[in-house]
Structure 1
Amino acid sequence: MTAIKNLSSRRDWLKAGCATLALGLAAGAAQAQQDWPTRPVRIVLAIAAGSSGDTLARMVAPKLEARWKQPVIVENKPGASGVVGTEHVVRATDGHTLLLGTQSSILPKYTQKGLRFDPLTDLVPVRKVLNYELVIATNGETAKQARTLKDLIALSKKDGKGLFLAGLGPVSVFNLSYAILNQQLGMQYSAVNYSNVNDANLSLTRNDTQFIVNNPASIRPHFATGAIVPLAAISTQRYAGLPDVPTLAEAVGYTGYLPLLWTGFFVPKGTPAAVVDRINRDVQAVFAEEEFRKQVEAKLTATVAASSPETFAKEIREETAIWQDLFKTLNIQPE
């Protein structure tokens, strides 16, 4: 009987100990979430200054700084179609380095040989922030011969020479998006690639290139002057800010996959879950401010995304599967 009582006491003690441990772990996680950040936070972009993503980061940084009571520094680390900046974040060990990335942070896994990291396992999705609008646009000089996307496609076939796309690299999301669309469009073209979006835009206005895939916010100042002419929205519906620009379906009867450009926050693998939750919660709170949200959406011609670490990770997996299949169809091989 004494042995049974002792065994029962040990079980009670173990249960109490496990309960105490669980409470301790929960308290520790809560404390870690509360204490972070303990030093300046860096938001890294794998693109040059002046882009839409760069503008977004510099709008968000002061808002997060006010919440975190630490400096929030925006760093641009462009190069190798986004690989340089992404790898910098993957290798960061300070616990205070974030990536504000796009598809270009993930796609190199399938488009580049010798990649020294795996973005699908070495990055932790925290929160998708924006879904950007995208248009196909030409320049004013080319528009004299092609006022519609259908005309532009016909022009590309006129003399057998084709047209030039203002691109950002063979594995950039802009170049790949148009390669996907062109399965149905059938345009004859070659890409001329630039190191940053500002140079690509400038090449279009100079007629060094004849068309571009871009976010309207990046080229909108040229619409009023006629230097750049939007021809089609890469969307199922016309954009509110460009009501006269037809969708791809309206312009040429396009029925295929519509690539989506997004941006969101990532952290390196191994970042404590409590910190991921803290960043997600605070970013959500920033964009819950209606005035700020409207300001961002208007300035960047984008829509704030409803997101969480779990939904963002799920969307990336689903989208990655679609891109992989399309790469096979297009016979795009790692370079």
Structure 2
Amino acid sequence: MPLARRTTLAAALAGAAPALAFAQPRAWPNRPVRIVIPYAPGGPVEIPGRFIAEHLAARLGQPFVVETRPGAGGALGTKQVIAATDQHTLLMVTGAVAIQPAVQPDIGYDPVNELVPISVVSESSMGFMVRPNAAFRDLAGLIAAAKAAPGRITYGSSGNGTTTHMAAALFGARAGIAWQHVPYRGSGQLISGFLAGDVDVMSGDLATLLPHVREGRGRLLGVTSPERVPAVPDVPSIAEVVPGTGITIWFALFAPRGFPEEAVARLGAELAPLRGGSPLGERMAAAGGRLLLTGPAELSERLRRELPLWRQVVADAGIRAE
């Protein structure tokens, strides 16, 4: 090639290099990221959700915006995330993602095949709380009262098909009692109804219950985790009274199908250091929870394991969509 032509070609390529570099896609994320929470504002999932959003924004240089999209027990917001194609939308959800397909067989999506697991973020015990002047003093008293008057004892949850509902339904089915479920639209309305005396028992996560217990507005009959909780060591696990009823509420981060593998890996890498100690972990421990940040494999396995469990509980308890 003549020298003049080589010189001209080299100059052209050199001039094109900045443009080619500019055209390369930037590493994920290259725009603001939405974290959709498919429940009413003020619920327990917002605590880890907002903390993680702030942490990731600081680490990744893009805003992470939390949006609450309640409706249909979490199904509405979940469907919106599944439909997202921008590769910058995430779902922060409770273990109800494994419950809703059992409660609503026509829910319209498959969480195993249409959601990409990122991580189990945390898990926490729930509890059964009564008012200080309740007639029954412990779980055995609750069972006796419910058996003496089938259908008269009422319990409130944060919604039909939520984990707080299913914890009580599982306990009732295996204790052999008939008690009446009163669903509320989120934990805020549930607390208001409980304090007003509209239900006998409240089934809720410990982060919501403990402030009311500590201030004397409620009394814990039991925690739902398989073992006792260090934050309230004198309160028995419900599994001590009715074996096989111990469960936790867990929070997890998902993305819609088609989410880039490199983005899943980057999220995992940025979240992993929180396991070594963080204000979120300390806050969750004080409220009876544990920060996990397991990664995608554990989340995928947990989802697959719990789907058949809740189908059986829904069938045994005769739960129907509302």
Whole-angstrom distance in 1 between the partners of 2:220 and 2:116: 36
Q: Could you tell me which residue of structure 2 aligns to residue 308 of structure 1?
A: 295
* Cα shift at 1:160: 4.7
Q: Which structure 2 residue ranges, 5 or more long, are not aligned?
A: 1-23
* CA deviation profile, 1:255-299 (whole Å, cap 9, x unmatched): 1142221001000001111111111221223x2351334333235
Q: Is 1:188 aligned to residue 178 of structure 2?
A: yes
Whole-angstrom distance in 1 between the partners of 2:245 and 2:142: 21
Instruction: Provide the identity percentage.
Output: 28
Q: Could you tell me which residue of structure 2 aligns to residue 146 of structure 1?
A: 136
Q: Could you tell me which residue of structure 1 aligns to residue 270 of structure 2?
A: 282
* Cα shift at 1:148: 0.7
* Cα shift at 1:110: 2.2
* Cα shift at 1:73: 0.6
Q: Could you tell me which residue of structure 1 aligns to residue 155 of structure 2?
A: 165
* CA deviation profile, 1:32-80 (whole Å, cap 9, x unmatched): 7x71100011111011221111122122211111111011111000111
The number of residue pairs the alignment matches comes to 299
* Cα shift at 1:306: 5.0
* Cα shift at 1:330: 3.6
Q: Is 1:225 aligned to residue 215 of structure 2?
A: yes
Whole-angstrom distance in 2 between the partners of 1:166 and 1:199: 10
Match of 2:33 among 41, 45, 51: 41
Answer with 85-94 or 184-193: which moved more.
184-193
* Cα shift at 1:105: 2.2
Q: Could you tell me which residue of structure 2 aligns to residue 266 of structure 1?
A: 254
Whole-angstrom distance in 2 between the partners of 1:48 and 1:280: 27
User: Does the 8 A contact of 2:239 with 2:246 survive in 1?
Assistant: no
Q: Which structure 1 residue ranges, 5 or more long, are not aligned?
A: 1-30
Whole-angstrom distance in 1 between the partners of 2:239 and 2:105: 35
SS at match of 1:52: coil
TM-score (norm 1): 0.83
Alignment of 1:78-117 (within 5 A): 78-117=70-109
Whole-angstrom distance in 2 between the partners of 1:323 and 1:160: 24
* Cα shift at 1:325: 3.1
Match of 1:214 among 186, 204, 207: 204
Q: In structure 2, do the counterparts of structure 1 residues 249 and 270 end up closer, same or farther at CA, with 3 Å as the change threshold?
A: closer
TM-score (norm 2): 0.86
Whole-angstrom distance in 2 between the partners of 1:163 and 1:123: 38
* CA deviation profile, 1:1-55 (whole Å, cap 9, x unmatched): xxxxxxxxxxxxxxxxxxxxxxxxxxxxxx97x7110001111101122111112
Q: Could you tell me which residue of structure 2 aligns to residue 5 of structure 1?
A: none
Q: Could you tell me which residue of structure 1 aligns to residue 128 of structure 2?
A: 136
* Cα shift at 1:174: 1.4
* Cα shift at 1:154: 2.0
User: Does the 8 A contact of 1:133 with 1:302 survive in 2?
Assistant: yes
Match of 1:320 among 286, 301, 307: 307
Amino acid of the structure 1 residue aligned with 2:156: A
User: Does the 8 A contact of 2:38 with 2:77 survive in 1?
Assistant: yes
User: Does the 8 A contact of 1:89 with 1:99 survive in 2?
Assistant: yes
